[in-house]
Structure 1
Amino acid sequence: MWALWVFSSLVFTVAAHAQDSANQTVYLAGSGNTALDQHIGSLLQDRLGDGVTLLPISDDQIPLIENTPVVSVGPAAFSRVRQANRSIPILAMLVQQSFIDGFAELAPGQISGVLYDVPLLRQALTGKAILPQANTVAILATPGSVELYEPLLDQLPLHGMTARVFVVESDGDLIPTLVRALGYGDFLLAAPDDAIYNPRTIKHILLTAYRRNKIVIGPSQAYVRAGALASSYAPFPEMANLGANALKEYFATGQFPDPSYPTRYRVEINDQVARSLNIPIPDREALNQTIQDELTNAGGPQGD
């Protein structure tokens, strides 16, 4: 079905389609990963229904768009769309809050996003759900990223936890700082901070934690596959629900809602790491419910 949709869409011109189509139209600027773009496109189209037509668009067509929303998949696609046409409304998918918030503040209602990074509080509570006795959370940061963790430091006491941020001053300081952090925390909370967690460093971080019988939580499913114990993540269907709702609100009001997180998450577990560290893992659904119950009962933010 998607293949037919893509083939038929390639024959249109932006101007002609805008004039002739009776349906509302949304354009999709892809990431370049065909399978990912097709999957997100299919999920969005299903949720938007027959009254909205979702069409892929090439870079040379973007400047021709007027008053028609564009869904961009990933930060690179958003940047291409924004640079090519600064007047069109954009819904950015698969972007982090730190990436899109500045754009949304400059163009409120015209730029929004479905946030891909998981709220740090939820990630911390994922560690707590796996290790109920855990009370202290260790965090690594660079001098430039310390401020990102201020909200979490304020939120954790509401959930019976405390955290300490250990600052990595230089590349050579990473492992010594990590060792100090592991000595403090019941687990290491890994955030989407590329200066700390990247392909060059992650193996050393995970091995150092493993040798000290400490677990790493987060920052994503990819890192769980690499050796972190667990990470919460938003399933693509949930992100598509949020994206479709944002588009429907735009068509109804002419304004996008603010960038937001999904409200439903799942937990990815590295079972091999759990067995190696002799950590019993509850059922995935039980983990999800434990995290949600803690957020609800403590009155904490559900997805901020």
Structure 2
Amino acid sequence: MGQRGPWKALGIHRCLGICLILLGMLLATPLRAADVLLTASEGSDSVRTFTEELATQRPQDQVRFVPLAQLPAPSQLPAATRLILLDPQSLDWRLQDPQGPATLVLRISRLQAQQRLQGAPHPKLSLLWSDPPLSRQLRLIHKVLPQVRRVGVLYSEDSQFLLKELRDAAQSMEMEIVVEPWDSTNDSRPLQNLLRNSQVLLGLDDPKLYNPKTVKNLLLSSYARQQALIGPNAGFVRAGSLASTYSDQQDWLQTLDSLLDQAPPHWPRELYPAAFKVLSNPQVARSLGIEEIDPQAVAHQLSEGEKRP
């Protein structure tokens, strides 16, 4: 009897060791894959490509796209679903039902959210902004046009709510925001007044003001006075504005990948993608006598500035 005691103890220690190893493996391995459901009103090629790339990044999860018309009411989806909305129509569908799973609203503009939510946060929604942060756009101006102090901004009734945030951001950079309401884009007087009283135009992501019908007047008027237009987005840079910050598909995939690693209760109520790029128009820079912009270097400098307290 006494001789079996040490062997028995050794067996117990060995079993404990195996249990600890198995427990460690269990903790290191997800208990089950997350169900990541993307939806939009239409399943375009770009949407399918985006879904496929996200699925490639997250092989441990079940990532799928289902057209909005094929989905039940949000409250009928499993609570553990991680829902990702890709267009305003899918957000309208989600807002009709206060119940349902935690939801990431991808690439929504500040203006679109204001029109739908009126500034009231929704407990199940995390809003990922598509328009560049106003403070980042001002830092871009400060970087490429360091002499500028008066920044002209056109606004409509829809985008007026952004002006306070813009002024607060400009104050820390010793810039002055000069504003002009543009109630009728057929009337050029507000634009001309603003150009006379400012040194550069900063475009807000407001479709009423910045659209294919107004682009020619905006660009020709500003360049006639040798003033640059910054923003409001990458599309306008290609059309003739000087530069803008923006986030592309890879930046959005990186942001989503990081958020999906977190439990939904930890998702922020709103977020700008930390990853971004700078797009510039060299031909416009030359015509305005501005030193050519190095987009990668400027983006790096802006990013480093955001990391510092």
Category of TM-score, reference length = shorter chain: 0.7 to 0.9
In the other structure, the counterpart of 1:264 is 275
Q: Cα 1:254–1:293, aligned 2, differ >3 Å: closer, same or farther?
A: closer
Alpha carbons 1:136, 1:185 under 8 Å: kept? yes
Q: Which moved more, 1:208-217 or 1:234-243?
A: 234-243
Given the alignment of the two structures, is residue 228 of structure 1 paired with residue 236 of structure 2, yes or no? no
Which one of 275, 282, 291 corresponds to residue 286 of structure 2?
A: 275
Matched, 1:138 2:138: no
Deviations 1:142-178 (A, max 9, x none): 24532311111122121132111112243343x2111
Q: Displacement, 1:231?
A: 0.9
- Do the aligned residues in 2 keep the contact of 1:29 with 1:81 (CA within 8 Å)? no
CA 1:238–1:99 in 2, change beyond 3 Å: closer, same or farther? same
| Unaligned 5+ runs, structure 1 | 1-20, 300-304
The equivalent of 2:7 in structure 1 is: none
Cα distance, 1:215 vs structure 2: 0.6
Shift of 1:254: 4.5
Cα distance in 1, alignment partners of residues 210 and 223 from structure 2:
16
Q: Which moved more, 1:160-169 or 1:96-105?
A: 96-105
% identity of equivalent residues:
25
Q: Provide the C-alpha distance between the structure 2 equivalents of 1:25 and 1:292, rounded to a whole number of angstroms.
A: 33
The aligned counterpart of 1:179 is: 192
Kept in 1, the 8 Å contact 2:48–2:65? The answer is: no
Q: Which amino acid aligns with 2:122?
A: A
Q: Give 3-state SS (helix, strand or coil) of 1:62's partner.
A: coil
Deviation at 1:117, TM superposition (A): 0.8
Runs of 4+ in 1 over 6 A off after TM superposition: none
1:23 aligns with 2:33: yes
Q: 1:160 to 1:103 in 2, by over 3 A?
A: closer
How far is the alpha carbon of 1:232 from its aligned partner?
0.6
The 1:105–1:246 alpha-carbon spacing in structure 2 relative to 1, beyond 3 Å, is farther
Q: 2:56 matched to 1:41?
A: no
Return 116-125 or 62-71, whichever deviates more: 62-71
In structure 2, the residue matched to 1:94 is 107
- Give distance in 1, aligned partners of 2:149 and 2:63: 47
CA distance in 1, matches of 2:95, 2:157: 30
Distance 2:176 2:198 in 1: 9
Q: What is the distance in 2 between the residues matched to 1:165 and 1:103? A: 23
Q: CA shift at 1:133, angstroms?
A: 1.2
2: CA distance, partners of 1:144 / 1:254: 31
Relative contact order (alpha carbons < 8 A, sep ≥ 6): 1 or 2 greater?
1
Aligned length: 273
**Does the 8 Å CA contact 2:282/2:293 hold for their aligned counterparts?**
no
Q: Which has the larger radius of gyration?
A: 2
Choose the corresponding residue for 2:77, options 55, 65, 87.
Answer: 65
* Gaps in structure 2 of 5+ consecutive residues: 1-30
Corresponding residue to 2:139 among 103, 125, 129:
125
CA pair 39-104 structure 1, distance change in 2 beyond 3 A: farther
Give the Cα separation in 1 of the matches to 2:244 and 2:82.
32
Write the distance in 2 (CA, Å) between the matches of 1:269 and 1:33. Answer: 31
Compared CA separation, residues 60 and 84, structure 1 to 2 (3 A): farther
Cα deviation for residue 255 of structure 1 reads 5.5
Distance in 2 of aligned mates of 1:33 and 1:223: 26
Q: Aligned partners of 2:35, 2:240: CA distance in 1, in Å? A: 43
Q: Write the distance in 2 (CA, Å) between the matches of 1:23 and 1:123.
A: 39
Q: TM-score, normalised by structure 1?
A: 0.80
Q: Flag the 1:171–1:254 CA change in 2: closer, same or farther, 3 A.
A: closer
Distance 1:77 1:37 in 2: 13
Cα distance in structure 2, aligned partners of 1:104 and 1:146: 13
In the alignment, the residues of structure 2 paired with residue 79 and residue 143 of structure 1 have an alpha-carbon distance, to the nearest angstrom, of: 22
Alignment of 1:135-284 (within 5 A): 135-173=149-187, 175-249=188-262, 252=263, 254=265, 256-284=267-295
Distance in 2 separating the partners of 1:27 and 1:193: 29
